Amino acid sequence: MSAAFQCGSIEVLRIKETLGAAFPPQHLLPELPPDAIERNIGWLAPNHFDPAKKRFVMGTHTWLLRTRHHTILVDTCIGNHKQRPHSPGFHNLEQPYLERLAQAGFKPEDIDFVLCTHLHVDHVGWNTQLRDGRWVPTFPKAKVLCSVAELASAEAKANANSPDEDDLAQWQDSLLPVLEAGMLQTVEGTHAIEDGLTIVPTPGHTPGHVVLRAESGGDRMLFAGDLCHHPLQVYYPDINSRFCEDAAGARAMRRQVLASCVESGALFAPAHWGPPHAGRIQANAANFWIRWA
């Protein structure tokens, strides 16, 4: 339900939304070498690959950070009752996400900041919830943060002449309500939420993708959004997911951030990995590997 990490004085919890057999490998990572699963099966199964179903094991979760001053959520998953007919795994969910948040000891009113690393559909859903037929902000006292470039991109997609139905739907049900409530705040460049918590631009997967860098008491964590959808992208850092919008930019940024985690020793915590959900990035002569948390 909630896995705990400690980053100095910062308490870190994982609030689960979904976890299980998800995409076939070649669907998520079209350029993955044909022998990649077989070569890595020793560590892939069962937490990151289901051999029986021949699918990656992945999920959606929120990272919750509790500092001395604030409670911060990083990414808000898919959400309940969202109509996503073109994405069957995201369509009209009913997950006990808020119950899991409560079991971790937090009410929606306790949240001070929500950081959306980017505005893809599975990172913004719990920004809002359906109440009496209306989409209303889930975290009524929170500032919802994203980058200037990311908001501009999401708005342009929603307002295109022939918008993708899911892009338009998520704009209307997950972004517009917090925007109209005056809760959405855009940031540009490197931006400090508080001492030790810094938003850093990492464009590539999307035009305005960001990560959250945490540092306290000599410990470091990096909340990495979709820089690596799956752990295999650490071992094959030039392999993009099918959802990366700028292929060359995503490859370059992935290598840059992984190298920075090797140098800093930061625990790398993305948005979709199976258990234990985070790991230390190590380097060998050619590429990278993971020492699991």
pLDDT tens digits, one per residue of 99-120: 999 999 999 999 999 999 999 9
Could you give the CA distance from residue 7 to residue 182 in angstroms, rounded to a whole number? 31
**Secondary structure (DSSP) of 21-58:** E---HHHH-TT--TTHHHHHHHHHTTTTEETTTTEEEE
Coil, strand or helix: which one is 260?
A: helix
pLDDT at res. 293:
82
What are 273's two structure tokens? 């990995």
* Sign of the Cα pseudo-torsion (144, 148, 154, 159, in order): positive
Question: Does residue 19 contact residue 273 with C-beta atoms inside 8 Å?
Answer: no
Could you give the CA distance from residue 253 to residue 245 in angstroms, rounded to a whole number? 13
Q: Is 189 left (phi over 0), alpha (psi -120 to 50) or beta?
A: left
User: In CATH, what class is 4-292?
Assistant: alpha beta
Could you give the CA distance from residue 53 to residue 55 in angstroms, rounded to a whole number? 5
Write out residues in the chain with pLDDT < 50, as ranges: 1
pLDDT at res. 163:
87
pLDDT at res. 3:
61
Q: Is 134 left (phi over 0), alpha (psi -120 to 50) or beta?
A: beta
pLDDT at res. 284:
87
What is the model's pTM? 0.97
Given the structure tokens 């380097």, which residue do they identify? 283
Cβ atoms within 10 Å of 38's Cβ, excluding its own: 10
Could you give the CA distance from residue 26 to residue 65 in angstroms, rounded to a whole number? 34
pLDDT at res. 2:
53
pLDDT at res. 177:
98
pLDDT at res. 4:
85
pLDDT at res. 1:
44
Q: What does residue 278 show for φ and ψ, rounded to 5 degrees?
A: -155, 155
pLDDT at res. 285:
80
Which residue pairs from 211-215 have beta carbons closer than 8 angstroms and sit at least 24 positions apart in sequence?
A: 211/117, 211/257, 212/65, 212/72, 212/74, 212/115, 212/117, 213/266, 214/7, 214/10, 214/12, 214/65, 215/7, 215/8
